[in-house]
Structure 1
């Protein structure tokens, strides 16, 4: 009986400790995501509040509904799709972009509660899904290089190397070397540590800003609600399409791997549904959708097995609201290395693309190169999806085509035609 009495607290302590590790390995997202959202026109402090609330509520939903130790935070790559393709390049205002998030999350929810998700998973070729991940990785890397001043607009080319003697470039390079060292050594909380180190280096090089103001809970100007004013327009749905596709397939892969590691595959359905609900709330909080972070593996490896770990992370994220003045100090040079390293991890999916099969390789290649070169994730995806049926028909493999792939290709093609006509 004494042994049983001690087992409970021991397990609870493991869950709390795992939750704390999950928080410290992902809290960097508050600074990173808010700076990406700032590129889309959202004030920095509003982006931090939105990121914190979305992460806290996402972890809470995962804890209470799925009872799984997953950490939900705005997804890297997904936030770039939202900020740079949907809002900045897509011509939508920030609140209109949030409406895109809400509608894409509703489509995500439909796939989570019906068989449509598994049908789409089988219908969309793996080569295209992996190519999207690789293209997102290259895009994040490009954004990271830009934020660190390592690449700039060239005088005689599209991009060129930044000035190696400038304080910004030197700070970025030194922070990048530290971040890579910590990452390859698998140091717990490596991103958080490198971000703090990068902030301290920026102070010594004279490029650090002063702390911002604390959050005024009576001031509600930071609250931005979705605007559905353009929901009836074709361009709105052309923004919804890519976001919904990325949300559905990215989360399917992440959840499968994490629950397999946890040996709790029976929790897949409710975990997948919890992520869909969390993505929906993200649109109302004012940020890009949350996903099950890759750092959930750290939570599981640290002994997290239930929703108690996720509940711990939800509580800690909420407490981060009181750290806003210090988080606002983090300079882009401290964010840059994180984007570059995350990009390098996503690019590794290229090994799953069957390069021996030209009909799979060519469309995948177009997605990979066109996402960073057009500075648009949606346009990059469009090139690959349109090319896929064309290549299959060209070599007589049209029987390998599925209805969803052809439909998506047609929608992207119509969008290109309408854009060329000035609509």
Structure 2
């Protein structure tokens, strides 16, 4: 009879031999009620942290002339499939859902600026994901992963953390556009939703520091209730009638490949493929608790990105909000499966999301991002050539709103800094190739814009 280790046993084994065991498996979790509860609560927390995508993604795609009442369902469907695949096949605590940033590229660059139809933009996404899949399912993915310096991986983690803090502060209303005076400005304490967010932040911090199980879920629920009592408005959701599914064929498998050989189309494919590839690689490298799960996670991410075009939505990404579940203690695919189930249930209960104000979710995102700053403690600050590329990643990810763009600045500057200081041996074929690929991506995006 097979013996299933408890989570405590797994952790003890990991401390004794770090290379032997890193995180519990799905089988271990199913037989450990304490960790199973932690995984499920982490999944619920992560779902509420990312649930805004159900509302926001259709609104952005509407600017590409795609019907919001249908893209809401495609957003949900591909998220369910992606999270389930991630949980079952990769056993990783990662959320797959249409991504912010890449949906803006899809809508405002491909459709609005380049004047492609949304059907052609879907075709660009599908073809780009094919190249992504070729790399993910080959040895190239592991070669690339192994060739990335640890310092740059730290920069990706911290940069995503700062990006999450920025998103959380915006959702809380604590920061807003500064207009002509500055890039950002402080929100108004006269806004009841800002006061609610501060209340939620204090409550979340208290529960987290006291190590209360499910503290983030408790905080979201309590802040939502307080918001309802004071009649603070929740989110606006699109028309969620299940009757709209009768028209789902209007966006399903509607890619238009008729312009595939035109220079504009080929340039768009290259840029989209690079965004898909490096966005996923950066987030997985920066956030996976167990790096041995990178290969399978990367493969699932690539395949789900391909499916997103088939289902009629912008490309999926490994969501940075996965960190909220990981910080809640989730370590396995049970978290992803839980998020997938929550997405599936949201098909029937989307209107209920209107009761959860952004101020209730924002504190969880802020704390999660702040905790990711801890990785900086292992950085070599004694030598500028080692930490300056990291600095560029950390600041450029939130400033540009793009993980791949932030990575581009760090990866291009890394070999340059090593050359300038004579550390030629630190430069290898992988980081040189990545630097060139990122540089080409920046140039391509410039011409597309």
Class of the TM-score when normalised by the shorter of the 2 chains: 0.7 to 0.9
- Aligned mates of 2:329, 2:368 — CA distance in 1: 18
TM-score under structure 1 length normalisation? 0.75
- CA offsets 1:94-143 (integer angstroms, 9 cap, x no match): 77776665455444433443211221112222222221222222122212
Deviates more, 1:214-223 or 1:234-243: 214-223
- CA offsets 1:379-410 (integer angstroms, 9 cap, x no match): 32232222222212111123322233323333
- Aligned mates of 2:208, 2:72 — CA distance in 1: 25
- Aligned mates of 2:230, 2:274 — CA distance in 1: 44
Give the conservation status (yes or no) of the 8 Å contact 1:81–1:378: no
Asked if residue 393 in structure 1 is aligned to residue 413 in structure 2, the reply is: no
- Aligned mates of 2:83, 2:61 — CA distance in 1: 27
- Aligned mates of 2:341, 2:177 — CA distance in 1: 43
Deviates more, 1:397-406 or 1:359-368: 397-406
Asked if residue 215 in structure 1 is aligned to residue 237 in structure 2, the reply is: no
Deviates more, 1:145-154 or 1:186-195: 186-195
- Aligned mates of 1:415, 1:104 — CA distance in 2: 13
Asked if residue 136 in structure 1 is aligned to residue 164 in structure 2, the reply is: no
User: In structure 2, do the counterparts of structure 1 residues 364 and 374 end up closer, same or farther at CA, with 3 Å as the change threshold?
Assistant: same
Of 426, 431, 438, which aligns to 1:405? 431
- Aligned mates of 1:130, 1:422 — CA distance in 2: 30
Match of residue 228 from structure 2: 203
Of 32, 40, 50, which aligns to 2:52? 32
- SS in structure 2 of the partner of residue 142 of structure 1: helix
Give the conservation status (yes or no) of the 8 Å contact 1:40–1:87: no
Q: Once the 2 structures are TM-superposed, how far is the Cα of residue 420 of structure 1 from its aligned partner?
A: 6.6
- CA offsets 1:57-98 (integer angstroms, 9 cap, x no match): 23443566x3x65455236xx8344245x3477455677776
Of 203, 208, 230, which aligns to 1:183? 208
- CA offsets 1:24-79 (integer angstroms, 9 cap, x no match): 34331552333452563457765653453234323443566x3x65455236xx83
Give the conservation status (yes or no) of the 8 Å contact 1:35–1:47: no
Asked if residue 110 in structure 1 is aligned to residue 143 in structure 2, the reply is: no
- CA offsets 1:146-166 (integer angstroms, 9 cap, x no match): 222211223532212111122
- Long gaps (5+) in structure 2: 2-26, 113-117
- Aligned mates of 1:327, 1:81 — CA distance in 2: 22
The 5 A counterparts of 1:96-175 are 102-103=126-127, 105-154=129-178, 156-175=181-200
- Aligned mates of 2:38, 2:200 — CA distance in 1: 27
Match of residue 372 from structure 1: 398
- Aligned mates of 2:309, 2:209 — CA distance in 1: 35
- Aligned mates of 2:336, 2:110 — CA distance in 1: 37
Deviates more, 1:328-337 or 1:356-365: 328-337
User: In structure 2, do the counterparts of structure 1 residues 364 and 19 end up closer, same or farther at CA, with 3 Å as the change threshold?
Assistant: closer
Give the conservation status (yes or no) of the 8 Å contact 1:69–1:296: no
User: In structure 2, do the counterparts of structure 1 residues 354 and 91 end up closer, same or farther at CA, with 3 Å as the change threshold?
Assistant: farther
- Aligned mates of 1:379, 1:269 — CA distance in 2: 23
Deviates more, 1:86-95 or 1:402-411: 86-95
Match of residue 354 from structure 2: 328
- Aligned mates of 1:415, 1:316 — CA distance in 2: 35
Give the conservation status (yes or no) of the 8 Å contact 2:57–2:75: no
How many residues are treated as equivalent by the alignment?
Answer: 400
- Aligned mates of 1:300, 1:364 — CA distance in 2: 27
User: In structure 2, do the counterparts of structure 1 residues 369 and 323 end up closer, same or farther at CA, with 3 Å as the change threshold?
Assistant: same
Deviates more, 1:152-161 or 1:308-317: 308-317
Q: Once the 2 structures are TM-superposed, how far is the Cα of residue 254 of structure 1 from its aligned partner?
A: 5.4
- Aligned mates of 1:341, 1:57 — CA distance in 2: 28
- Long gaps (5+) in structure 1: 2-7, 260-264
Asked if residue 54 in structure 1 is aligned to residue 78 in structure 2, the reply is: yes
User: In structure 2, do the counterparts of structure 1 residues 374 and 310 end up closer, same or farther at CA, with 3 Å as the change threshold?
Assistant: closer
User: In structure 2, do the counterparts of structure 1 residues 55 and 296 end up closer, same or farther at CA, with 3 Å as the change threshold?
Assistant: farther
Deviates more, 1:208-217 or 1:332-341: 208-217
